[in-house]
Protein backbone atom coordinates (compact mmCIF):
# COMPACT_ATOMS: atom_id res chain seq x y z
CA UNK A 1 0.00 0.00 0.00
CA UNK A 2 2.83 2.37 0.84
CA UNK A 3 4.44 1.72 -2.55
CA UNK A 4 1.23 2.56 -4.39
CA UNK A 5 0.93 5.88 -2.58
CA UNK A 6 4.61 6.62 -3.34
CA UNK A 7 4.12 5.81 -7.04
CA UNK A 8 1.01 8.00 -7.23
CA UNK A 9 2.79 10.92 -5.52
CA UNK A 10 5.79 10.55 -7.87
CA UNK A 11 3.48 10.64 -10.89
CA UNK A 12 1.69 13.70 -9.55
CA UNK A 13 5.05 15.37 -8.90
CA UNK A 14 6.22 14.72 -12.45
CA UNK A 15 2.92 15.99 -13.86
CA UNK A 16 3.11 19.12 -11.72
CA UNK A 17 6.53 19.97 -13.20
CA UNK A 18 4.97 20.22 -16.66
CA UNK A 19 4.60 23.93 -17.55
CA UNK A 20 1.30 23.40 -19.38
CA UNK A 21 -0.23 21.73 -16.32
CA UNK A 22 1.06 24.59 -14.16
CA UNK A 23 -0.60 27.14 -16.44
CA UNK A 24 -3.87 25.23 -16.43
CA UNK A 25 -3.91 24.91 -12.65
CA UNK A 26 -3.04 28.54 -11.96
CA UNK A 27 -5.43 29.84 -14.64
CA UNK A 28 -8.32 27.74 -13.34
CA UNK A 29 -7.71 28.94 -9.77
CA UNK A 30 -7.66 32.61 -10.77
CA UNK A 31 -10.61 32.12 -13.13
CA UNK A 32 -12.64 30.76 -10.24
CA UNK A 33 -11.68 33.62 -7.95
CA UNK A 34 -12.32 36.29 -10.58
CA UNK A 35 -15.62 34.67 -11.60
CA UNK A 36 -16.81 34.72 -8.02
CA UNK A 37 -15.93 38.39 -7.50
CA UNK A 38 -17.35 39.53 -10.85
CA UNK A 39 -20.58 37.60 -10.24
CA UNK A 40 -20.84 39.16 -6.79
CA UNK A 41 -20.49 42.72 -8.10
CA UNK A 42 -22.75 42.07 -11.12
CA UNK A 43 -25.47 40.76 -8.82
CA UNK A 44 -25.14 43.85 -6.63
CA UNK A 45 -25.30 46.16 -9.66
CA UNK A 46 -28.10 44.32 -11.45
CA UNK A 47 -30.60 44.98 -8.68
CA UNK A 48 -30.41 48.72 -9.42
CA UNK A 49 -30.10 48.25 -13.18
CA UNK A 50 -33.65 49.32 -14.00
CA UNK A 51 -33.12 52.62 -12.21
CA UNK A 52 -30.05 53.53 -14.29
CA UNK A 53 -31.28 53.31 -17.88
CA UNK A 54 -33.33 51.27 -20.30
CA UNK A 55 -30.28 50.56 -22.47
CA UNK A 56 -28.59 48.62 -19.67
CA UNK A 57 -31.80 46.67 -19.05
CA UNK A 58 -31.91 45.76 -22.76
CA UNK A 59 -28.22 44.80 -22.73
CA UNK A 60 -28.81 42.57 -19.74
CA UNK A 61 -31.83 40.98 -21.39
CA UNK A 62 -29.96 40.26 -24.62
CA UNK A 63 -26.98 38.80 -22.79
CA UNK A 64 -24.38 41.45 -23.53
CA UNK A 65 -23.56 41.87 -19.86
CA UNK A 66 -23.04 38.11 -19.48
CA UNK A 67 -20.73 38.10 -22.49
CA UNK A 68 -18.82 41.04 -21.07
CA UNK A 69 -18.55 39.21 -17.75
CA UNK A 70 -17.02 36.15 -19.46
CA UNK A 71 -14.54 38.24 -21.44
CA UNK A 72 -13.46 40.12 -18.33
CA UNK A 73 -13.04 36.83 -16.46
CA UNK A 74 -10.73 35.45 -19.15
CA UNK A 75 -8.68 38.63 -19.45
CA UNK A 76 -8.18 39.20 -15.74
CA UNK A 77 -7.52 35.54 -14.91
CA UNK A 78 -5.10 35.21 -17.83
CA UNK A 79 -3.22 38.30 -16.72
CA UNK A 80 -2.94 37.10 -13.12
CA UNK A 81 -1.81 33.63 -14.19
CA UNK A 82 0.81 35.11 -16.53
CA UNK A 83 2.15 37.38 -13.80
CA UNK A 84 2.35 34.58 -11.24
CA UNK A 85 4.16 32.25 -13.65
CA UNK A 86 6.59 35.03 -14.60
CA UNK A 87 7.28 35.65 -10.91
CA UNK A 88 7.84 31.94 -10.29
CA UNK A 89 10.28 31.66 -13.20
CA UNK A 90 12.42 34.58 -12.01
Global confidence as pTM:
0.58
- Tens of each residue's pLDDT in the chain, 90 residues: 788 888 877 877 776 677 787 778 778 888 888 888 888 877 777 666 666 667 777 776 777 777 878 888 888 888 887 888 777 777
Q: What is the pLDDT of residue 88?
A: 73
So what's the pLDDT on residue 84?
80
Residue 34: how many CB atoms within 10 A of its CB?
Answer: 20
How far apart are alpha carbons 53 and 57 in whole angstroms?
Answer: 7
Which residue ranges make up each domain of the chain?
19-89
Amino acid sequence: MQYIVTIILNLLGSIAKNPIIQKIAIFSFFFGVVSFTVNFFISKASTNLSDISQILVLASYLGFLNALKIVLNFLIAGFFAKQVLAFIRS
